[in-house]
């Protein structure tokens, strides 16, 4: 019985310490225009980038797979000792240029680096502090901002030709 009580206290202590580490990672982002919670493995995050010619691209950083979510338990447990500052998330790119919309999804991923304040995409890079959207060669393409999840999901439903739920229709 004593052994199980000690194990329980050890698990509780690890969880309390890890919550502090996760909050430390959030504090790094306080000054960022684009905020992504790298500890949330079930979150979908939407980033809308717009160029000067009014064309825009919507990036969806998708939730991780089940096994990737299980693997991040370790991140929580060691967060106090070694805070997590990088993450790789599955990526879907929704392109929109006027009336035309295309969907790209074929094993793409986005690399989030909180320390460098960048999101590295297959052919672009987003500065999380200023919201600048650049090519891999560094040329400025436009600006980015995060979308509320509700707006991001509404856009995805529109692209896929699915009607909005009755509560979301205007």
Tell me how many domains the chain contains: 1
Instruction: Name the residue among 72, 102, 73, 104 with its Cα closest to residue 91.
Output: 104
What's the confidence (pLDDT) of residue 8?
Answer: 56
Q: Region 117-140: what's the mean pLDDT?
A: 93
Q: Region 144-150: what's the mean pLDDT?
A: 94
Range of the domain at 76: 2-168
Which tops the pLDDT comparison, 170 or 45? 45
| Res. 10 pLDDT band, cuts 50 70 90 | low
Tell me the CA end-to-end span of the chain in Å, nearest whole number. 60
| Beta pairing, strands 132-135 & 140-147 | antiparallel
Q: What are phi and psi of 13, to 5 degrees?
A: -60, -40
State pLDDT tens for residues 61-91.
998 888 877 777 777 777 778 788 889 999 9
Q: Across all residues in the chain, what is the average pLDDT?
A: 79
Q: Which residues of 34-52 are buried (b: 16+ CB within 10 A; e: fewer)?
A: bebebbbbeebbbbbbbee
DSSP line for the chain: -HHHHHHHHHHHHHHHHHHHHHHHHHHHTTT-SS---TT-SS--EEEEEEETTS-EEEEEEPPPPHHHHHHTHHHHHTTTTS---EEEEEEEEEEEETTEEEEE-SS-EEEEETTTTEEE-SSEEEETTT-EEEETT--EEEEEEEEPHHHHHHHHHHHTTPPPPGGG--
| Res. 1 pLDDT band, cuts 50 70 90 | low
pLDDT at 11 over 60: no
Q: Note the residue count of the chain.
A: 170
Predicted structure pTM score: 0.74
What's the confidence (pLDDT) of residue 32?
Answer: 79
């Amino acid at each position: 019985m004593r052994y199980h009580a000690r194990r329980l206290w050890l698990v509780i202590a690890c969880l309390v310490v890890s919550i502090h580490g996760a909050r430390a990672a959030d504090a790094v982002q306080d000054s960022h225009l684009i905020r992504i919670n790298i500890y949330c493995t079930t979150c979908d995050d939407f980033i809308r980038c717009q160029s000067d010619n009014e064309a825009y691209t919507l990036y969806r950083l998708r939730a991780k797979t089940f096994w990737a979510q299980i693997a991040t338990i370790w991140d929580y447990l060691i967060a106090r000792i070694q805070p997590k500052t990088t993450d790789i998330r599955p990526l879907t790119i929704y392109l929109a240029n006027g009336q035309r919309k295309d969907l790209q999804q074929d094993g793409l991923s986005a690399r989030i680096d909180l320390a460098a304040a960048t999101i590295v995409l297959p052919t672009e890079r987003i500065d999380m502090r200023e919201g600048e959207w650049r090519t891999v060669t560094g040329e400025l393409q436009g600006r980015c901002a995060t979308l509320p999840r509700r707006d991001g999901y509404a856009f995805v439903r529109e692209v896929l030709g699915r009607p909005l739920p009755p509560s979301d229709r205007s």
